[in-house]
Amino acid sequence: MTIDDTDRRILKVLSTNGRISNSDLAREVGLSPSPCWQRVRRLEEAGIISGYAAILNHEALGVGETVLVEVVLDHHDESSLDNFAKALTAIPEVLEVYLMAGEFDYLVKVAAGGTSDIESFLREKLFRLKGFRQSRSSFALRCIKRAVSYVPPA
C-alpha cells in the first residue's frame, strides 16, 4: 500500500496520541471526520497500524531497570532459533527480542526492579532455556530517547 503525506500526518499524530478522537485527529491533519476515519481504517486494514496500546511507566511500576542481554546459542538451525525465540517471548519481563547478525544470536530487552530481579531472570529462566550457551548483560543507566514508532519521510 502506498501512503501519502496526509497518511503520514495521521500516523505521526496517532503515534504520539493513540487516544485522540477522530474529530480532533481530522482537525489536526486538515480533513473532515469521515475521510479521516476512512484513512485510519485503511491504514489498519493494510497492517500499517497494527494496534493501539498504553505506554507504561516502568519506574512507577517498580521495574525501572532496563537490561540488554546478548545471547549466544549452541545451535543455529532454524528449529533451534525458532524454539528459543518462542521460549523468550513467553517470559513476561522480556520486553523485546531481536534475532541478530553478528557476534551474538539474540538481543533481549528485559525490565527489572533491580539486580536481584536480573539475577533471577538469568539463573532461573534464561540459563535454563534449551540451546542457551552464553550471555552478556548491559544495564541501561538512563533512557535518552524512547520512540514507539517511526513514520518514514516520503
Question: What per-residue confidence (pLDDT) applies to 148?
Answer: 87
Distances (CA, A) of 31 to 7, 21, 27, 45: 11, 13, 6, 20
- What confidence category does residue 139 fall into, taking pLDDT thresholds of 50, 70 and 90? very high
Mean pLDDT of 44-64: 94
pTM: 0.88
Q: Is the pLDDT of residue 87 over 90?
A: yes
Q: Domains in the chain and their CATH numbers?
A: 5-45 (1.10.10.10), 65-139 (3.30.70.920)
